[in-house]
Structure 1
Amino acid sequence: MFRMFGVRQCYRTMSQLRYLLLAAVTLSHFTDGIKLWNSKTPRRNTIWRGNWNMDTSTYRGQESVSAEPNPDGSNYKVSAIFLSQGSYGRNDLFSGAEFYSSPLEPRECLTLSYKVWFDDNFDFAYGGKLPGLYGGGVNCTAGGDPGKDCFTSRFIWRTGGMGGVALFTTSQQTPEFCTTEGVECNDAWGHRLGSGSFQFQTGTWYTIQQTVRLNTPGQADGYVRIVVGGVGKVYDVSNVVIRESSDVKVNGILFSNYFDGTSSCSGSPVDTHVYFRYFALKDNVC
């Protein structure tokens, strides 16, 4: 009896070990980084409260924000941003929303991911902004204070739904950076990274993810990585100067959603919505 118990116990132990090893492999494959923070399903229009730690002084466009049924027909709500016909550049009521959020302690590297859905009638027109990361303080976008040591790295869409990232940061870039494939340097309106490396369509959920790792001050060793839809790396640029001082960290999320532009011809052609859900901050690639 003792021997049989020992054999069975050994078998159970080996089975448990195999299960733990399988679970570890599965977990490492599917978690894709350690999740540090997330915000899943809104229940009311005050969807950015709670654990977002929003800088309320920067919140613009509350009238555009609501919690709406999932456009894919699922039985839970999502965050919706209403963009009225003709709206652009956060110039009027119902022209989109923007705020800064710092739900974590500042750090050297951070990954933001979330899901976005463009309404069936959405017209990409000339382009617009989507949420991204920021660091070194607020008011560091085009039209802000270019003398500050800070950065923003927001997803964008352009004509036809072509995607990329707009990086607004120091102008002290190397010639190698500005000649990198997929980079369009522009100190006034932000450097475009990965332009056309992926394309949005209407009426479907996209999971988009960006990682920002800050450079060593005085060196061009920062990087930005874009991943879309779980298909792996879409774009990666690794010779970026994002900061000039070690005091600048990645602070958190800059939520932006509106049509770009400086005149009505760049505004939304129709009344429409952009939907968001499942924001998460992780430590991917850091």
Structure 2
Amino acid sequence: MTRRALMRSSSAGALGLAAAGLSGGLAACGSGPRQVDPASEILPPDTSTPVAASTTPARAHRTLANTDVARQFFGEKLVPMTRSSFGLDLAEVLPSDDKRFPSLLRVSIPIDVTNPEEKRIYQDGATYGGVQMFVDHTLRSPYELYMRYYVRFPQNFDFGKGGRLPGFFGTIVKNRVRTETLRSGFATRFAWRDGDSGLVYANTARSDHPTNTVGKATWRWPRGRWVCVEQGVKLNFEGYSDGLMLIWIDGKLVYKDQKFNPRISNDLRVGGFLVTATFGDGGTTFKPVSPQTIDLAGFAYDVKRLNPLPKPEDG
């Protein structure tokens, strides 16, 4: 008999005894009468519906490896892609502790993960741990674009010798179709070097300057709080040094380059965000010496500067 059947039987028996005037209950062997409450009885397992052992963790990890989670995190105006990506399972989406954005991306950087060599682009060296994901915008092939996002290094973060953070990437667009290879484009990723010294790695397909370190030591990355990161890029005309790069940290303009010239073709356009958070690009001595995490949030772009989000106390 199943648990449910036994419950029904016990209930019916109790009601029948009550109807017969036996309000004192059933007499147990060697004891006086007691009241029977079927709902409190210890019943044998219901063999008709065996219960399997749960294998679900207390909190399922929501990472960028799940395409639905990635789309939800970046929103309608950004399109996460899987090309040349790695470490997506190391980037977990969590509820935000800041009212300015609903969720944050926590990137884990273990000490024993070397990223795939075939995923290196833009003359990158070896990188360690973390994540790399191309996130396209939904605009029509812009040559000028502005970004904003937030980054937070934990209070005990060990910067080591260097690493990279998100920035823009560019790609060749012909007849509104992007090229399959990204090596003909450019990247302008934020970074740190020699401890907390800030800079941008401006990688291009140009043979005369494939890698530029931009704005080194014009700011320092703080620990233990959210930092507003902004970048504006206007591409040059082919053969001219008339492009523009602007960098704001916490709303302050810290770098301006009016001769930015990554373009090898007038078909080059700003493609979107290259979401990167890794150690490395300077040999094995750039490996993290202990496990680290980096938080990212609030990715947004526009054809004009966005400015920092109002702080919660500002209303």
Same fold per superposition (TM over 0.5):
yes
Shift of 1:202: 1.4
2:127 aligned with 1:107, yes or no? no
CA distance in 1 between counterparts of 2:101 and 2:71 reads: 22
> Which residue matches 1:171?
206
Residues 123-169 of structure 1 deviation map (CA, whole Å, 9 limit, x = unaligned) = 111111100001115765xxxx4xx2x11111011122111110011
> Which residue matches 2:268?
248
Counterpart residue identity of residue 239, structure 1: K
Among 40, 49, 54, the alignment partner of 2:71 is 49
Shift of 1:90: 5.9
CA distance in 2 between counterparts of 1:77 and 1:85 reads: 26
Contact kept in structure 1, 2:241 and 2:260, CA below 8 Å: yes
Residues 59 and 49 of structure 1: CA distance in aligned 2, closer, same or farther (over 3 Å): farther
> Which residue matches 2:93?
67
Shift of 1:108: 1.1
Residues 197-249 of structure 1 deviation map (CA, whole Å, 9 limit, x = unaligned) = 11002111100111110001121101111000012x11001112111211111
Among 108, 113, 119, the alignment partner of 1:82 is 108
> Which residue matches 1:261?
281
> Which residue matches 1:207?
228
TM-score by length of 2: 0.63
> Which residue matches 1:179?
none
Aligned identity (percent) is: 24
Residues 55 and 235 of structure 1: CA distance in aligned 2, closer, same or farther (over 3 Å): same
CA distance in 2 between counterparts of 1:65 and 1:282 reads: 25
2:152 aligned with 1:117, yes or no? yes
User: What do you get for the CA RMSD once the two structures are aligned?
Assistant: 2.9
Residues 152 and 261 of structure 1: CA distance in aligned 2, closer, same or farther (over 3 Å): closer
CA distance in 1 between counterparts of 2:271 and 2:180 reads: 10
- Secondary structure of 2:89's partner? helix
- Secondary structure of 2:195's partner? helix
Residues 154 and 109 of structure 1: CA distance in aligned 2, closer, same or farther (over 3 Å): same
Structure 1 stretch 69-78 or stretch 125-134: which is displaced more? 69-78
Larger Rg: 2
> Which residue matches 2:24?
none
In the comparison of the two structures, how many residue pairs are matched? 222
Q: Which structure 2 residues correspond to residues 128-277 of structure 1 after superposition, within 5 A?
A: 128-136=163-171, 140=182, 145=183, 148=184, 150-171=185-206, 187=210, 190-231=211-252, 233-261=253-281, 263-277=283-297
Residues 274 and 55 of structure 1: CA distance in aligned 2, closer, same or farther (over 3 Å): same
- Secondary structure of 1:63's partner? helix
Contact kept in structure 2, 1:88 and 1:259, CA below 8 Å: no
- Secondary structure of 2:169's partner? strand
Q: Which structure 2 residues correspond to residues 16-35 of structure 1 after superposition, within 5 A?
A: none
Counterpart residue identity of residue 107, structure 2: I
TM-score by length of 1: 0.69
Residues 90 and 228 of structure 1: CA distance in aligned 2, closer, same or farther (over 3 Å): farther
CA distance in 2 between counterparts of 1:73 and 1:203 reads: 17
CA distance in 2 between counterparts of 1:123 and 1:94 reads: 14
User: Which 5+ residue runs of structure 1 have no aligned equivalent?
Assistant: 1-42, 174-185
User: Which 5+ residue runs of structure 2 have no aligned equivalent?
Assistant: 1-60, 118-125, 172-178, 307-315
Counterpart residue identity of residue 212, structure 1: V
Shift of 1:103: 2.2
